């Protein structure tokens, strides 16, 4: 039975397990099932758990008060998908805020970002990973958008950039609208919301820390679920602050929840020059110095105060990457065979843990996909040379902490369904 069939199963009543042979559940629990195969995330792996232990595990995972944890060992035994870049060094999957004073060119800047992501053209010195873009221009109309895009790019259009001038509120229609759009356009990489004020419900606690944190939290949850970037345009206060980011209108809950923030500033509203301070959880802080072309309104990069950090070459990853190429696109073998092939002085177990941690970089920089799967005959490592951009492969050692989306959500639910389905499959075959 394929993995997709397990994903479709959302319930597995206890009464169905073992019902075919009419045997009560407790009659089978004394048996050790070392030969029993759990099918988790498409893999068969030997289980030494008794049925009693499996049922206790199911009960724990389905208990709403159960705190799911993993050990440090389990943490190292799993390769988690890194946040994919949308624009290398600038925007990654997650929730971002672009803040600035009114009428300083924020809308032209996000239109520029939207166009480059939708076309795949490099933005300044940053590599772009192309995909569909949704631009919610909620303070504009289509005529103004048309004029703006024509001013910037003439007749060089793209069908991967979509505009909307009206949308629901967050928690009141917008969530469903965005879900539907992503469903219709599965290659979506970026959603721009211009502005935040247009999607928030106004109430007595509209500007409390809790409400600010909640609104960005909902956008972040959506971005993480679909591994896309949601960039929201927001305004700054007029009064100066010790920390420039404290100028962002609202409470610190906005900045605290966001994965990254871009603060756009001008010395004079009429000036052609602007700076953008960039901060983020998974990227280096930097300051961009921009200058606007007065004819096209396109922002050009003059210089960067802090060059994006680039890690030095990794000899282990380089050795692993040499095992595959355009001529030999796949390599498979056991962890021991991999250790013998790369000869980097690491034991097989240490090498696989290292690759679990570094699998994201192995894919992004060396264009090699990495899988480490449990098979009936033992573990199998698979390396794949990526000719085109592809999502990172995920390694799941025991099915207890696999990921869904960008942050490893719904692991417990997936594991529970997999265990129940596997138990039912075994009992049905007896």
Give, for all 430 residues of the chain, the pLDDT tens digit: 444 444 444 444 443 333 344 444 444 434 433 333 444 443 434 445 578 888 887 888 788 888 888 888 888 888 877 788 899 889 999 999 998 888 889 999 999 999 999 999 999 989 999 999 999 999 999 999 999 999 999 999 999 999 999 999 988 899 999 999 999 999 999 999 988 888 887 654 455 666 777 888 899 999 999 999 999 998 775 555 544 555 554 445 466 678 888 999 888 878 899 999 998 887 788 999 999 999 999 999 999 887 666 678 899 999 999 999 988 999 999 999 999 999 999 999 999 999 988 888 888 888 898 988 888 778 889 999 987 444 443 343 443 344 445 654 444 444 444 444 444 454 444 4
Task: Answer whether residue 394 is part of any domain.
Answer: no
Structural domain containing residue 329? 311-385
pLDDT at 229: 95
Distance from C-alpha of 331 to C-alpha of 10, rounded to nearest angstrom: 35
Neighbours of 151 (CB within 10 A): 14
pLDDT at 23: 42
CB 194 within 8 A of CB 137: yes
CATH number at residue 299: 3.40.50.300
Task: Answer whether residue 261 is part of any domain.
Answer: yes
Distance from C-alpha of 276 to C-alpha of 192, rounded to nearest angstrom: 17
HEC states along the chain?
Answer: CCHHHHHHCCCCCHHHCCCCCCCCHHHCCCCCCCCCEEEECCEEEECCCCHHHHHHHHHHHHCCCCCCCCCHHHHHCCECCCCCEEECCCEECEEEEEEECCCCCHHHHHHHHHHHHHHCCCECCECECCCEEEEEECCCCHHHHHHHHHHHHCCCCCCCEEEECCCCECCEEHHHHHHHHHHHCCCEEEEEEECHHHHCCCCCCCCCHHHHHHHHHHHHHHHHHHCCEEEEEEEECCCCCCCHHHHECCCCHHHHHCCEEEEEECCCCCCCEEEEEEEECCEEEEEEEEEECCCCCCEEEEEECCCCCCCCCCHHHHHHHCCCCCCCCEEEECHHHHHHHHCCCCCHHHHHHHHHHHHHHHHHHHCEEEEEEEECCEEEEEEEECCCCCCCCCECCCCCCCCCCCCCCCHHHHHHHHHHHHHHHHHHHC
* Tally of domains within the chain: 3
Q: Tell me: do 329 and 300 sit in the same domain.
A: no
Q: Tell me: do 59 and 187 sit in the same domain.
A: no
Task: Answer whether residue 151 is part of any domain.
Answer: yes
Q: Tell me: do 129 and 228 sit in the same domain.
A: yes
Q: Tell me: do 171 and 192 sit in the same domain.
A: yes
Neighbours of 278 (CB within 10 A): 22
Task: Answer whether residue 392 is part of any domain.
Answer: no
Q: Tell me: do 278 and 416 sit in the same domain.
A: no
Please state whether the peptide bond connecting residue 195 to the residue before it is cis, i.e. omega within 30 degrees of 0: yes
Distance from C-alpha of 139 to C-alpha of 137, rounded to nearest angstrom: 6
Distance from C-alpha of 326 to C-alpha of 342, rounded to nearest angstrom: 18
Q: Tell me: do 287 and 186 sit in the same domain.
A: yes
Task: Answer whether residue 401 is part of any domain.
Answer: no
pLDDT at 406: 63
Q: Tell me: do 157 and 279 sit in the same domain.
A: yes
pTM metric for this prediction: 0.65
Q: Tell me: do 160 and 246 sit in the same domain.
A: yes
Q: Tell me: do 329 and 185 sit in the same domain.
A: no
Intra-chain end-to-end CA distance of the chain, in Å: 17
Distance from C-alpha of 427 to C-alpha of 430, rounded to nearest angstrom: 5
Q: Tell me: do 258 and 319 sit in the same domain.
A: no
Last residue of a domain, one of 256, 272, 304: 304
CATH number at residue 353: 1.10.10
Q: Phi and psi at residue 328, in whole multiples of 5°?
A: -125, 95
Last residue of a domain, one of 304, 336, 353: 304
Q: Tell me: do 54 and 89 sit in the same domain.
A: no
pLDDT at 336: 92
212, 237, 255, 323 from 251: Cα distances, Å: 7, 11, 8, 51
Last residue of a domain, one of 255, 279, 304: 304
pLDDT at 30: 40
Q: Tell me: do 238 and 318 sit in the same domain.
A: no
């Amino acid at each position: 039975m394929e993995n997709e069939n397990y994903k479709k199963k959302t319930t597995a009543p206890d009464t169905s397990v073992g019902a075919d042979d009419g045997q009560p559940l407790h009659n089978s629990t004394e048996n050790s099932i070392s030969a029993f195969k759990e099918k988790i995330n498409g893999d068969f792996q030997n289980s030494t758990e008794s049925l009693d232990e499996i049922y206790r595990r199911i009960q724990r995972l389905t208990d709403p008060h159960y705190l799911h944890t993993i050990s440090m060992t389990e943490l190292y035994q799993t390769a988690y998908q890194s946040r994919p870049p949308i624009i290398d060094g600038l925007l990654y999957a997650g929730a971002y805020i672009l803040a600035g004073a009114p009428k300083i060119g924020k809308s032209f800047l996000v239109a520029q970002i939207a166009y480059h992501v939708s076309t795949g053209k490099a933005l300044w010195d940053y590599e772009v990973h192309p995909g569909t873009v949704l631009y919610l221009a909620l303070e504009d109309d289509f005529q103004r958008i048309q004029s703006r895009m024509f001013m910037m790019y003439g007749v060089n259009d793209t069908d991967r950039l979509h505009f909307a001038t009206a949308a629901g509120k967050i928690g009141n229609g917008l969530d469903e609208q965005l879900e539907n759009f992503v469903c219709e356009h599965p290659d979506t990489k970026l959603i721009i919301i211009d502005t935040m004020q247009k999607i928030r419900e106004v109430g007595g606690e509209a500007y409390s820390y809790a409400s600010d944190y909640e609104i960005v939290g909902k956008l972040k949850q959506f971005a993480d679920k679909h591994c896309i970037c949601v960039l929201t345009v927001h305004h700054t206060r007029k009064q100066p602050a010790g920390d420039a980011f404290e100028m962002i209108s609202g409470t610190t809950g906005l900045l605290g929840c966001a994965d990254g923030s871009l603060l756009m500033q001008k010395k004079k509203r009429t000036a052609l020059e602007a700076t953008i301070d960039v901060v983020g959880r998974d990227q280096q802080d930097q300051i961009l110095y921009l200058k606007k072309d007065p004819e096209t309104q396109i922002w050009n990069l003059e210089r960067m105060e802090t060059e994006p950090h680039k890690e030095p070459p990794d000899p282990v990853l380089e050795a692993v990457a040499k095992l595959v190429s355009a001529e030999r696109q796949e390599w498979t073998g056991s962890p021991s065979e991999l250790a013998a092939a790369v000869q980097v002085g690491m034991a097989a177990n240490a090498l696989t843990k290292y690759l679990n941690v570094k699998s994201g970089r192995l894919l992004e920089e060396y264009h090699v996909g990495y899988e480490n799967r449990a098979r009936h005959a033992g573990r199998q490592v698979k390396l794949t040379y990526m000719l085109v951009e592809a999502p990172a492969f995920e390694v799941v050692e025991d099915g207890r902490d696999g990921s869904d989306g960008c942050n490893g959500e719904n692991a417990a639910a997936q594991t529970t369904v997999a265990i129940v389905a596997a138990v039912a499959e075994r009992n049905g075959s007896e």
